[in-house]
Amino acid sequence: MTALQHERVRYWLHVGLDHIGAQERAALDRHLIECVECRGYAEKLAALQTDLTRAARARWQAHEPAPDMEQAIESRLGRHRKPRQI
């Protein structure tokens, strides 16, 4: 594969498999079978995604909202809402 094709493979990996067509997915799969360099890149990208997901969950789980937060927000919104005019 040429350098441009390697760039295309990396682009598809970054875009995500849900956002490429069936032909692109087949070409990507074939390339990853044959190319050690791009397969390694794909594995590193997958590991990075896993690490980022784990870090984000840990950060957000440590900051639980107060139990009455939803009620307080609804109360404030209710006070500032204007009636709809027809």
- Structural domain range at position 34: 3-80
Asked, for residue 53, whether it belongs to a domain, the answer is yes
Asked, for residue 56, whether it belongs to a domain, the answer is yes
* Predicted pLDDT at 85: 66
Query: How many structural domains compose the chain?
Result: 1
Asked, for residue 22, whether it belongs to a domain, the answer is yes
Reply yes or no on whether the pLDDT at 3 is more than 80: no
Its sign, for the CA torsion 10, 12, 17, 21, is negative
1 by DSSP, 3-state: which? coil
What distance separates the 2 farthest-apart alpha carbons in the chain? 65
The 10s digit of each residue's pLDDT in 17-41 is 889 999 999 999 999 999 999 999 9
Reply yes or no on whether the pLDDT at 1 is more than 60: no
Asked, for residue 85, whether it belongs to a domain, the answer is no
* Predicted pLDDT at 81: 57
Instruction: Give the model's confidence band at 45: pLDDT under 50 very low, under 70 low, under 90 confident, else very high.
Output: very high
The 10s digit of each residue's pLDDT in 56-85 is 888 877 777 777 888 888 888 876 556 666
Asked, for residue 59, whether it belongs to a domain, the answer is yes
* Predicted pLDDT at 25: 92
